[in-house]
Amino acid sequence: MYYQINIKRLIINCLNLKKIIHRYKNFLQVSLTFHNSISKTAIEEENRGRSELYVFCHHIYEYKKGLRNLVLTTERAQNRKIIEKRLKKENIPYVIHDITNDKINIYFGKQHCIDVVSTFDSRLNKLTPEQDFILGIMLGYDRLGQCERYLKRFSMPINNLIDLATS
């Protein structure tokens, strides 16, 4: 009995769907024609843009959850407008530095962090050891690792410091 009722409902739903399709067939033909006129490359390009920005969107999520105070991400320059639009929409302070013609570094996060980053050279390999240390700490890198990196860049062997501390 239960199955007979469901089969009747299914038949009624199919008949109703057929009526709806018949009623709106001109509209459906127009929309299908429009959809088919969109080039496959345009759709692929849009999907590629979404997948490229997955990490960027995840960084926004982490920032909004309070996991990060500052984020640095490298993205394709052609996504710049999308990125800026999203950061403005989310009301997140940011700075964008051009790396090459097709790559950009985006810093976003707390305003104080952005103010500090704005004083740095846009080329990361040109940062002073102190700026590199500050940036690493603000990005949330391991503090001891940043201390070791600073000392290497400052050209003072760690062993000499340990000897100084123990004597």
Ranges of each domain in the chain: 2-37, 69-166
Q: What pLDDT digit, counting tens, does each position of 36-71 carry?
A: 445 555 555 555 556 778 999 999 999 999 999 999
Question: Which among 86, 4, 12 has a CA at the least distance from the CA of 49?
Answer: 86
Looking at the DSSP bridge assignments, the partners of residue 106 are 73, 96
Mean pLDDT of 135-143: 94
Strand 94-98 with 70-76, pairing:
unpaired
Query: What is d(CA 41, CA 37) in angstroms, rounded to the nearest whole number?
Result: 11
Cβ(146)–Cβ(133) below 8 Å = yes
pTM over 0.75: no
For domain 69-166, give the fold.
PG1857-like (3.30.2190)
Tokens of 104: 């950009």
